[in-house]
Amino acid sequence: MQGKCLMIQGTASSVGKSVLCAALLRILKQDGYHVAPFKAQNMALNSFVTRDGREMGRAQVTQAQAAGIEPDIRMNPVLLKPVGDRRSQVIVDGRVIGSMTAMEYHQYKPELREKIKRTYKDLENGMDYVIIEGAGSPAEINLREGDIVNMSMARAADAPVILVGDINLGGVFASLLGTIMLLTDEERSRVKGVIINKFRGDVKILEPGLRMLEERIQIPVLGVIPWMDVELEDEDSVTERFHRSSGKGDLDIAVVRLRHISNFTDFQALTLQPEVRVHYAETPDDLEKADIIILPGTKNTIEDLLDLRRRGMDIPILRHARSGGMVIGICGGYQMLGNRLMDPHHMESSIPEAAGLGLLDMDVTFDTEKKTTQSTGVICCADGWLSSLNGQLLDGYEIHAGKNHYGSEAVPWLQIGGYTDGICNADMNILGTYLHGIFDDGIFFSKLTGHIRKRSSPEKPAQVQTLDAFREREFDRIADIVRASIDMDAIYRILQGKK
């Protein structure tokens, strides 16, 4: 093996591959190497727009940040975004090529395989090392023929593999042993070490099992990583975040849990602020005590709006808004706040039209082309609680196919390049925008909380945590834990192709 890359595979989904890759990339960066992440295929509704307007998966964006480099579409050449129970939008090299069923995509994979290999080689040529992430498990033997992301990718990159198991799930020894047994001889020869992840307790208790595992699989255990409460952005909706509250402050923020929720990484910055509690609302009762209700992005706006009504979630949202409570919509959530949503070309749904919540004076029509761009918004409020931020810049990105038609009661509050990107109502308690990332630097959110508490920010300096600063501390923290928990000398020997 050539000594240019290392691949992290897992015994299952959610065993911690993405976080381990980020930690290893940060360690290598700390040690002076120019490194990059790579994942051949992601399936996720959390995505990101690169500087050149391409769309890629969040996990590799986070990993690029850990490596200290600009996110690049070559790090994630294929992104699948589920649009329903049986179809996914297929994004190749950051551009949408269409919507496919699982069978259609399976038939398309051979065409993708060589393209992915070329993309990887192009990325690898400019790096000292590349850390490659697999998906799910390489032991899904029914999927081996169409594999483009696990052992097939390891062969294409000539990559040594480290296999990761999650002890918190239970049965970690059986899952590691079973995975190894289900690999072919050639695949098994690529596995140079195993790591046990998410351990709670004294490692000495594991030592007899570790020795027995090594005897059975004839592959060294490179370390045991303790449980880490990691607060980095999640790759997709396979997350514990929806089922717990973050923060212990007295200001309650309820993010509505939509069926096809996307880009909920928008709210990562909120969980860092000391005075708030963030939770995801799944029932009407979850919204009753909220100070701020947020409608997030979605991959299927009309169907999620109808589902919201079926669950009775619209009633407390409307009651909260009409009583003066703050409601904020981001992207698809912004569209829901309007009067009418029209999808004449069936871009998102088979439903051609639906009534919105009627909280903002606008109609939305879904266009045949999706807008994907990094953008800088300018707050444009001469009056009201946001007026002191007039002219303030908000950096972020846009991913949407909707075009808005504003009525006479629409009040612009955010502009991008001279056009309106966000409106509010006359009372300024209902706000919407297409711009993802408005909370990241803390400036807008600090003003928002000051308004809700009926005090202005200048009178009480806000102790705001920016998302960028938090990420840097978190990357260094998980790197320190992983460096102390695994045999880094062995990792370097594997990376360099040494025995």
Task: Report the catalytic residues.
Answer: 331, 436
C-alpha radius of gyration, the chain, whole number:
24
Q: How many CA atoms lie within 13 A of 326 on its CB side?
A: 20
How far is Cα 170 from Cα 172, in angstroms, rounded to an integer?
6
How far is Cα 145 from Cα 499, in angstroms, rounded to an integer?
30
**How buried is residue 317: exposed, middle or buried, by Cβ count under 10 Å (0-12/13-18/19+)?**
buried
How far is Cα 267 from Cα 257, in angstroms, rounded to an integer?
12
Contact 431, 439 (CB under 8 A): no
Question: 3-class SS at 476?
Answer: helix
Cα angle 18, 159, 55 (rounded to 5 degrees) comes to 45
How far is Cα 206 from Cα 28, in angstroms, rounded to an integer?
28
Report the sign of the C-alpha dihedral through residues 207, 212, 217, 218, in that order: positive
For the record, the structure tokens of 182 come out as 């289900």
Of the candidates 366, 370, 392, 369, the one whose C-alpha atom is nearest the C-alpha of residue 379 is 392
For the record, the structure tokens of 147 come out as 């594999």
How far is Cα 483 from Cα 479, in angstroms, rounded to an integer?
6
Which residues, 6 or more positions from 486, have their beta carbon under 8 angstroms from its beta carbon? 195, 222, 223, 225
How far is Cα 7 from Cα 135, in angstroms, rounded to an integer?
11
Neighbours of 406 (CB within 10 A): 15
Contact 83, 44 (CB under 8 A): no
Q: Please, what's the b/e burial string for 277-298 (b: 16 or more CB within 10 A of its CB; e: otherwise)? A: bbbbbeeeebbeebbbbbbbbb
Question: 3-class SS at 133?
Answer: strand
Tell me the longest C-alpha to C-alpha distance in the chain.
74
How far is Cα 385 from Cα 376, in angstroms, rounded to an integer?
21
Report the sign of the C-alpha dihedral through residues 457, 461, 466, 471, in that order: negative
Question: 3-class SS at 389?
Answer: helix
Contact 8, 20 (CB under 8 A): yes
Pairing of strands 276-281, 251-256: parallel
DSSP conformation class of 126: T
